[in-house]
A and B are shown apart, each in its own frame.
Chain A
């Protein structure tokens, strides 16, 4: 037990500070990926709901492919494919050599692109739950499409979608562990480094798991609170 505390101390010998920093990188890459996924997911949900036929087919193909292919493959595509792309860009501007895409950027985009496929389905389901009457009522009082979206559609979609959005966030958080294959020093990669140099893999992977658990538990609490807040307006059961 004392050994474990020493391993985790914040001093010269301990890994506390590095692990804490790495945990912040994990949260940062997950948050960026989640935000990218939310934006792309909303666009795809829109294409699915209101697009013309080619758009709908494209959006369906997107969600089918990204939900059917392992996340790790997508991460490889973004990391290695991204580096090819940036190298090509730099060659266009006349410079030589290999230019890698930063692992953080590749990782956040991969998480975002994967998350978007799930987020799109969440948004679409939430939009379906809206009552048509409310939209018609909004139109009948002369609301423009944008006003209708801002006042009537968006607030309710967010409210209905909140549990699903919470799930997508948890997925993004856990997916961030896969970004360790690109060499980004997030929580799992840092634990690997620590495990390698101290020869204590069991302790460090256990600690990594524990930190992940704390983060997922905290986000669960936050989403439960948001959900309670968002559903204040819903009729409560009469007791």
Chain B
């Protein structure tokens, strides 16, 4: 085990970090939107819509992400002619977009469970109170349900974010050179798996540590009512300032 080799690998692996972060950010953002749609579908009055969303979540959560990635990247390649005629081939021939599609579809299914739980946690009393003031529909969602659900969902959704960072490593198998892709190449070139693992692992731990702190900060910022009350004098000062 050589420290200088670990340091060199660390620098080389760092070049993959922007792609890892980019994939995480894009797939996560799409995943959140889809997760909210799915969660709303699962609360729908219509059994068909509920059933479709349930089936989707069941299938995605019951199969490995790598199978989903292969199905989209290699499997859809079989329909190249059809996709070309639809003008979608530019999208599906790129490992980058296939990876993002698979990651966001996957994350949406897991995320919808979190969102559903958070929506269910909003107490009926608060909804009734809002309705009694005449709020309904979008206003009720915007002012009461969504803010409360967001606070509830945040810690669990923070875990989803970490899982997404880890999941992006799988697109290295379909040729994307993010951190794990570079790590695999370094291992094949140098045959020093332990050192490369330490360097790559350190980068992932660093990313996950920073993201966890950011989520915790957001959580703190969103829940001012849960913080210990400041001393009276401090409160006075802040209200004067």
Contacts and interface: CB of A to CB of B under 8 A. Distances in A.
B25 interface: no
Interface residues of B, number: 41
Contacts of A64: 205
Interface residues of A, number: 39
Interface string B57-80: 011011111111011001111110
Given A68-B209, A71-B169, A76-B193, 4 more contacts: A73-B197, A76-B183, A84-B194, A188-B64
Interface string A56-86: 0000000011011111111011011100100
Nearest to B168: A70
Contacts of B70: 188, 191-192, 201, 205
B194 A81 contact: yes
A188 B191 contact: no
B201 A69 contact: yes
Nearest to A216: B62
Given A178-B66, A205-B67, A209-B68, A76 B76 contact: no
B205 A212 contact: no
Interface in A71-111: 71-74, 76-77, 79-81, 84
B152 interface: no
Contact of A201 (B63, B75, B191, B208): B75
A80 B191 contact: yes
Contacts of B197: 73-74, 76-77, 81
Interface in B176-195: 180, 183-184, 187, 191, 193-194
A72 B165 CA distance: 12
29 contacts: A67-B162, A68-B201, A68-B209, A69-B166, A72-B170, A72-B172, A73-B200, A76-B183, A76-B187, A79-B193, A80-B191, A84-B194, A176-B64, A178-B66, A188-B67, A191-B70, A192-B70, A195-B74, A200-B78, A201-B74, A202-B74, A202-B76, A202-B79, A205-B67, A212-B67, A213-B62, A213-B63, A216-B63, A217-B62
Looking at A71, A73, A191, A202, which has the most chain B CB atoms within 10 Å of its CB?
A73
B97 interface: no
Contacts of B194: 77, 81, 84
